[in-house]
Chain A
Amino acid sequence: NAGVTQTPKFQVLKTGQSMTLQCAQDMNHNSMYWYRQDPGMGLRLIYYSASEGTTDKGEVPNGYNVSRLNKREFSLRLESAAPSQTSVYFCASSELRQFRSNQPQHFGDGTRLSIL
């Protein structure tokens, strides 16, 4: 029972390089989320997808793009990486019910990304 799987677990990039972080969930959840976690701070929402075929910006979307490939997969792309994007990235999923949001989110183990 894998839950939420993120790949890769670690990555080092040079400034200006591009990269896609992958996330897949096997719980048949309809909503998926990308967060970043920086030292001394809580997680901040980058983008989310309430259902297959929809995506919306979160608190810190600049410099990122996302794709909800299907119900299971939600990818995060850095088109031109910058040192400020050095962070730990977490993907999460949950079952989102219309007019209610009472289901807990399940998180992956994170991708540790360093940009030199």
Chain B
Amino acid sequence: KQEVTQIPAALSVPEGENLVLNCSFTDSAIYNLQWFRQDPGKGLTSLLLIQSSQREQTSGRLNASLDKSSGRSTLYIAASQPGDSATYLCAAVEYGNKLVFGAGTILRVKS
């Protein structure tokens, strides 16, 4: 059974810092790895989807990497802003596009 772990559970940084969120998964037979953002009381917004044949994806200040062999993915946020404060979720994508989620990292960026 796939298990996804996210470290740290919570993170507080001053504005402008670069930061890394970590995601690990136990079964490397995944199709993709997807990162989401969730604001309080809201649904999930897809940030980046890394296909199993790729090693990284970039969107603006966000960069996500994937190492299937070691069961790890990282989300790098450059020059963090208070508007980046949210919960970040990673999900391992299995056959049938079924997602197995981690518990999330709660990020707070202080101005």
Contact = CB atoms under 8 A, between A and B. Distances in A.
A90 interface: yes
Contacts of B89: 42-43
Interface residues of A, number: 30
B17 to A, nearest CB: 25
A45 B43 contact: no
Interface string A84-105: 0000001010101000111111
Nearest to A44: B101
Nearest to A110: B43
A33 interface: yes
A109 interface: yes
A41 interface: yes
* Interface size range on B against A: 20 to 34
Interface residue SS majority, chain B:
strand
Given A40-B103, A101-B93, A107-B44, A45 B49 contact: no
A7 to B, nearest CB: 13
B46 A104 contact: yes
Interface string B23-47: 0000000011010100000111110
Interface of A: 4, 31, 33, 35, 40-45, 48, 50, 56, 58-59, 90, 92, 94, 96, 100-110
